Amino acid sequence: MRACLVGSIILVAMCTSSAADNPAKDLTIATGVESYRSGNYARAESLFVQITTHTPSSAEAWYRLGLSRYRLKKHAGAEKALMQALNIAPRDPRLYNALGLTYMAQADPTQAVANYNAALGIRPKYLRARYNLGIAYNQQGKTSLAISAFERAVADSSEFTGARYALAVMLKKARRYDDAAVQLLAMISIDTTNSRPHMELGFIESERRRFAEAERHFRRALRLNPRDARARYGLGVAYALQGHWVMAQGQCDSLKSVNGALHKRLRRIINP
């Protein structure tokens, strides 16, 4: 009877110890995620290295380690961690998306495209992977494929303004100005505080040589964001191309403290 009692006490102690271990492990993972989200990527990396050392079967820990290293621009190390995660969880689409990011950072859009497509093969409505696929296609110079990727992302989520903006930029690049304007106006209806669609509409009108309309859009962009350097540059160019040199110079002077490169470009247009 006494032996049974002692055995029961030991069993209870073992169960209690095991239950106490798991919350500690989860807390460490949560702390790593918290460090990552707060921008302390070095701390996050350190924590996830500890977790993967003690629990090498944790795909989540390897994934988080890969993300942390990606943020620290340790791309080879990020790739290695993500491959470890894939060995454990080959059907997790996040891993392929993250690998795509590391390949893009290493100037390898071909491998990035392959991984984004792998992610989408598992989860077809993975919006971030679809958006990243469009970025990779654009990096490859495949404008039509980039447009298709962004169109699909917008179709899957009409509120995804990042994809809508990227689609508009690609359509403008393809000189499909009316289609680009449709996307930008839709973006404005979703978010009235964003200066970027007004700025892009200004460039579209400049390319069409409709400078009065371009000015209107650039000024609206600057009302929303006075530090929008590209909008200020565009407004200065629109003034210069109409011969309004004094107003163009005013925009050039304003750019000097905001964006030195655009200031120099506009100065060369005003004083060739």
**CATH number for position 237:** 1.25.40.10
Characterise 231 by phi-psi region: left (phi > 0), alpha (psi -120 to 50), beta (else): alpha
CA 135 to chain centre: 10
Flag whether pLDDT at 44 surpasses 90.
yes
Tokens of 105: 């950072």
Per residue in 189-201, is it b (16+ CB within 10 Å) or e — as a string?
A: eeeeebbbbbbbb
Measured over the CA atoms of residue 96, residue 112, residue 146 and residue 135, the dihedral's sign is: positive
Average pLDDT over residues 26-37: 84
Flag whether pLDDT at 12 surpasses 70.
no
* Per-residue pLDDT tens over the stretch 172-189: 999 999 999 999 999 999
Name the pTM for this structure: 0.83
Identify the pLDDT of residue 9: 31
Residue 75 in domain: no
Identify the pLDDT of residue 42: 97
Average pLDDT over residues 256-270: 94
Q: How far apart are CA 192 and CA 9, in angstroms?
A: 66
User: Considering the chain, what percentage of its residues have pLDDT values greater than 90?
Assistant: 87
Average pLDDT over residues 78-102: 98
Domain count, the chain: 1
Q: 125 φ, ψ to 5°? A: -105, 35
Residue 267 in domain: yes
Identify the pLDDT of residue 7: 41
**Please, are residues 93 and 133 in contact by the beta-carbon 8 Å criterion?**
no
Residue 263 in domain: yes
pLDDT top residue among 245 and 6: 245
Q: Which domain holds residue 200?
A: 193-272
Q: How far apart are CA 155 and CA 130, in angstroms?
A: 11
What residue has token string 């000189």? Answer: 175
Average pLDDT over residues 32-53: 95
Residue 197 in domain: yes
Residue 47 in domain: no
Flag whether pLDDT at 58 surpasses 70.
yes
**How distant, in Å, are the alpha carbons of 11, 20, 236, 263, 265 from that of 268?**
81, 68, 12, 9, 5
Identify the pLDDT of residue 176: 97
Flag whether pLDDT at 217 surpasses 90.
yes
* Per-residue pLDDT tens over the stretch 146-155: 999 999 999 9
Identify the pLDDT of residue 28: 80
Residue 234 in domain: yes
For residue 81, count CB atoms less than 10 angstroms from its CB and return exposed for 0-12, middle for 13-18, buried for 19 or more. buried
**How distant, in Å, are the alpha carbons of 5, 40, 105, 191, 237 from that of 99?**
54, 21, 10, 31, 40
Residue 142 in domain: no
Residue 108 in domain: no
> Given pLDDT bands bounded at 50, 70 and 90, which one contains residue 10?
very low
Identify the pLDDT of residue 2: 43
